[in-house]
């Protein structure tokens, strides 16, 4: 079921997203957060950092990130490990051992996927933050992905690589593969918080909320989830 909130500016969207997250976590002793990277949640993360500065402690939080590129060293400036530390973790008090980001280096890739699932299986995510791809992807689960997937290795579609090229020097540098939490794990979160802004998200937002439930738009699976808050600006909501 969707609770849809539409605001004028990215700042207002981010504040509403923060309020929704805080409502879920504030009465939990050990809140489990599912986190995303990308442009959409940066404002939410700024609000969390402000909240910490004002005295709220995040030290009991346990976090799971959705995804990570394959083919970049962990400390490359475009890994999601770097993104999360720069945009959130370096300025909060969450202990490093509570932070889970799928690792894309080291062992055999299938082993990395099952390690991540094992860690995920020990918890239930209280709130999963999601952005949405222009093609309707959630995590890096691209159109065509079965709704039953667990953590898996994906080939990034051209549209996703083009969308993300803005963070790299050239399209050639954008990795072609990623490791991502699967759709079935995302669906197990107790609450989901989707943040989307901008006209380039309008079709995907329509597909998520009003389209047919189909693997062609992975976000449409959220129509089957009991608790989804969607925070949009007017552009992202323009096709609803």
For the annotated catalytic residues, the residue numbers are 67, 135, 137, 142
Q: Which is nearer to ligand F6R, 4 or 60 (CB)?
A: 4
Residues making contact with ligand F6R (CB under 6 A)? 36-40, 66-67, 131-133, 137-140
Sign of CA dihedral 21, 132, 41, 179: positive
Distance CA 101, CA 215 (A): 25
Q: Which is nearer to ligand F6R, 45 or 140 (CB)?
A: 140
**Shortest spacing between CB 51 and ligand F6R, in angstroms:** 21
Contacts of 56 (CB under 8 A, 6+ apart): none
**Smaller CB separation from ligand F6R, 58 or 140:** 140
What values do phi and psi take at 71, rounded to 5? 110, -5
Q: At what angle do helices 42-53 and 10-25 cross, to 10 degrees?
A: 60
Other C-beta atoms lying within 10 Å of the C-beta of residue 118:
10
Please state the closest distance from residue 166 (CB atom) to ligand F6R, in A.
9
Give the residue with the Cβ less far from ligand F6R, 132 or 174.
132
Helix or strand run (H / E) with residue 228: strand 228-233
Give the nearest distance from C-beta 141 to ligand F6R in angstroms. Answer: 8
Give residue number: closest CB to ligand F6R.
Answer: 131
**Least CB distance from residue 197 to ligand F6R, whole Å?**
8
Q: How many CB atoms lie within 10 A of CB 231?
A: 27
Among 186, 185, 165, which residue's Cα sits nearest to residue 175?
Answer: 165
């Amino acid at each position: 079921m969707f609770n849809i909130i539409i605001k004028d500016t990215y700042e207002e969207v981010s504040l509403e997203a923060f309020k929704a997250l805080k409502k879920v976590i504030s009465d939990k002793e050990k809140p489990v957060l599912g986190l995303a990277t990308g442009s959409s949640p940066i404002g939410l993360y700024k609000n969390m950092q402000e909240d910490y500065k004002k005295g709220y402690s995040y030290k009991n939080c346990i976090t799971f990130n959705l995804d990570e590129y394959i083919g970049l060293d962990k400390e490359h400036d475009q890994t999601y490990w770097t993104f999360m530390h720069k945009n959130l973790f370096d300025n909060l008090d969450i202990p490093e051992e509570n932070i889970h980001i799928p690792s894309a280096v080291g062992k055999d890739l299938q082993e990395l996927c099952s390690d991540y699932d094992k860690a995920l299986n020990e918890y239930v995510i209280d709130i999963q933050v999601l952005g949405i791809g222009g093609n309707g992807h959630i995590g890096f689960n691209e159109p065509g992905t079965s709704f039953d997937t667990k953590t898996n290795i994906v080939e990034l579609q051209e549209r996703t690589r083009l969308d993300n090229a803005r963070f790299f020097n050239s399209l050639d540098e954008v990795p072609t593969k990623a490791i991502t939490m699967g759709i079935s794990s995302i669906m197990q979160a107790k609450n989901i918080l989707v943040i989307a802004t901008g006209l380039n998200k309008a079709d995907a937002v329509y597909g998520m909320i009003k389209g047919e439930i189909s693997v062609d738009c992975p976000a449409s699976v959220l129509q089957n989830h009991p608790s989804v808050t969607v925070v949009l600006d007017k552009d992202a909501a323009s096709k609803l």
